[in-house]
Amino acid sequence: MNLNFEIASGPKVIFGRQSVLKLGEECTKLGMNSPMVLTDPGLKSSGAIDVVFESLEKAKINFHLYDNVEANPSDTSIVDANHKFIEVGCDSFIAAGGGSTMDTAKAVSVLFANGGKLSDWYGIGKILKPSPPLISIPTTAGTGSEVTNSSIVTDTELQIKTTVRNDTMFANLAIVDSSLLAKLPKELAAGALMDALTHSIESIGSPKSSPWTEGLANKSIELICRYAREYIDDRSVEKSADAISLAATLAGTAFGNTGLGIVHSLAHPLGAYHQLHHGTANGIFLPSVMRFNLPKMKKKYAEMNTLLSQNDENFKNQDELEQAEDTINKIDELARDIEIPKTLRELDITKKNLEVMSKDAAESNQVKTNPVQPTENDLKKLYEELL
């Protein structure tokens, strides 16, 4: 058991149905007079976050709407949002959306506070000046970005996804309200859910994993495996939507402290080169990568099985390796049940860019926290198996 660890516990969290109604009063408490509300155009037009605007209007908060957030946000979109923030004279951020929106707000806050070019701040721990206040409101239950101190951005010139990370980027408050998930399209909900599950499983495999983060990650895995099917069937059911929201936020705190693994190394280039949804890409790679990591993860995967097999009589007669393999099979089965594609071929993704994607994956930060160190060729083979 690793009993030498550091934990950044992140922002205050207000969890619960209708907690978004407290947004206006929470802005006042944080001294936010003219926040920029960031969201994406689809979410804005769906009406799913009207309740955000109503809460701000009720509290007489004078906000500016920025609804141009991109999926897989680019450096240029962050520069654009920062220009608007300065032009309008905003003093704080509210990010209402999925990971792209929350990551955009964090990256814009870094650029606003520190100036220069966004690329000056790529990497970990380079930022010196504190960011303006930020409230994050997740609407997809997946990325955990509401409780992490990092932002994933796509550099359009280098054609890579990269990270900006520092403790100054933590939101001041995360409002996690599962009633916002009711209108989330099924396919997006399934991808986001697999993202959260991947965060927890990769967090447990990281050498930085500790009893603190394992507790969070294990609870998250248990909730996802128990409630995923019911949630994907109908996102408006309170019990399962609450369970998945909680799981995603717990997973965010876990991986925010441990780092991730090569499911993410493989998924990010697919976002950069083929615009594949991040969570869907993770869901496709997760079972293959668990098999790749099995030599180092046998005990942990077997322990995970106890969370998934409470009523399974066969489980009691299995040895450790059988239990570990059974865990992988159960994760695979879950992905199929919620209609995550089994291969990249099914999505008509070709071998185009395979060499450069393998190279980018091998150079990613997540390789360092994967339990088994892969070569570039190992990563290429993992792509090839699914292409």
CB of 71 to Fe ion, least distance (A): 14
In the structure encoding, which two tokens stand for residue 354, read together?
Answer: 């395979």
| 278-308 vs 262-274: helix crossing angle, rounded to 10 | 160
Closest residue (Cβ) to Fe ion? 195
Instruction: State the nearest-atom distance from the C-beta of 144 to Fe ion, in Å.
Output: 8
* First vs last C-alpha separation in the chain: 38
Task: Tell me the closest approach of the beta carbon of residue 54 to Fe ion, in angstroms.
Answer: 31
**Residues 77 to 96: which contact Fe ion by CB under 5 A?**
none
Are 193 and 338 contacting, i.e. CB atoms less than 8 angstroms apart?
Answer: yes
User: Which of 214, 203, 184, 341 shows the shortest CA–CA distance to 276?
Assistant: 341
> At 164, is the secondary structure helix, strand, or coil?
strand
Cβ nearer to Fe ion, comparing 195 with 325: 195
* Minimum distance from residue 27 beta carbon to Fe ion (Å): 28
Question: Do residues 188 and 212 touch, judged by C-beta distance below 8 A?
Answer: no
Residue 195 or 360: which CB sits closer to Fe ion?
195
Nearer to Fe ion (CB atom), residue 82 or residue 209:
209
HSE, side-chain direction, 13 A CA sphere, residue 283: 27
Shortest Cβ 111–Fe ion spacing (Å) = 22
Q: How far is the CB of 310 from Fe ion (least distance, A)?
A: 27
Least distance CB 309 / Fe ion (angstroms): 26
| Of 51 and 194, CB closest to Fe ion | 194
Q: What is the pattern of x (binds Fe ion, CB under 5 A) and - over residues 177-206?
A: ------------------x-----------
Tell me the C-alpha distance between 99 and 192, whole Å: 9
Site string for Fe ion, 305-344 (x = CB under 5 A): ----------------------------------------
Query: Which CB atom, from 44 or from 161, has the smaller least distance to Fe ion?
Result: 161
Residues 231-270 that bind Fe ion (CB under 5 A): none
The answer to whether 15 and 245 are in contact (CB under 8 A) is yes
**CA distances (Å), 243 to each of 184, 218, 224, 235, 301, in order?**
16, 13, 7, 11, 22
Residue closer to Fe ion (CB basis): 19 or 104: 104
Is residue 169 within 8 Å of residue 127, measured between CB atoms?
A: yes
**Size, binding site for Fe ion by CB under 5 A:** 1
339: DSSP letter:
T
Q: Which is nearer to Fe ion, 177 or 195 (CB)?
A: 195
Nearer to Fe ion, 195 or 222 (CB): 195
Token match 């802005």: residue?
A: 27
Least separation in angstroms between CB 334 and Fe ion: 17
Question: Which of 134, 200, 180 is CA-nearest to residue 21?
Answer: 180
Residue 233: other Cβ atoms inside 10 A: 11
What is the DSSP-derived secondary structure letter of residue 158? T
Tell me the backbone φ, ψ of residue 145, rounded to 5 degrees.
-60, -20
Which residues in this chain contact Fe ion in the complex, by CB under 5 A? 195
